Amino acid sequence: MRKWIVELNLEMENRMELNFVLIIILSITGMLGAICRYNISNAKILIENFQEKSYFITIIINIMGCFVMGLFFPSFILKGALIDYFITGFVSGFTTFSGFIHNFHNLKERNQKWGLYYVILSIFSGLISFYIGLIISI
């Protein structure tokens, strides 16, 4: 009985160490994704062309995030958890669902049609860019 308890404690310590490492990976990749998003959002060419149209910047970033996810998706299936944490951290830090919803709400308040067009454009362009990334990676 005592041997079993010692083995259980060692197993729990190993899991805690692994969880800590995965949390560090998520934190670092999420931070890198957020930094990339910030730099792209503040890129001179985007600010000059879309200064008051943040929804275009959100669509561009979300399309890029879907493309990156498509590129890494086969690796995620083959290699498992580590690439999953990388994709989850980086892509989640890079893209923004809350920004998408905020922009949709603002457009909908101004004009019902533009809000609907924004949702349709975002979803279909995201799917298309994901599959383009997937095709390139295979």
One-letter amino acid of 8: L
From the CB of residue 66, how many other CB atoms can be counted at a distance below 10 Å? 24
Domain enclosing residue 112, as ranges = 2-137
pLDDT one-digit tens code per residue, 32-62: 999 998 888 877 676 676 656 677 888 889 9
pLDDT at position 8: 40
* 108, two tokens: 């909908």
User: Using an 8 Å Cβ cutoff, are 37 and 79 in contact?
Assistant: no
Q: In sequence order, which residues have a C-beta less than 8 Å from that of residue 3 and are 6 or more positions away? A: none
Q: Where are the alpha helices (DSSP H) in the chain?
A: 2-41, 44-50, 54-79, 81-94, 97-110, 112-137
Positive or negative: CA dihedral 70, 66, 38, 23: negative
Q: In sequence order, which residues have a C-beta less than 8 Å from that of residue 45 and are 6 or more positions away? A: none
For residue 6, pLDDT beyond 50 = no
From the CB of residue 118, how many other CB atoms can be counted at a distance below 10 Å? 20
What are the two backbone dihedrals, phi and then psi, of residue 52, each rounded to the nearest 5 degrees? -105, 15
Query: How many domains in the chain?
Result: 1
pLDDT at position 125: 94
* 121, two tokens: 């454009």
pLDDT at position 12: 47
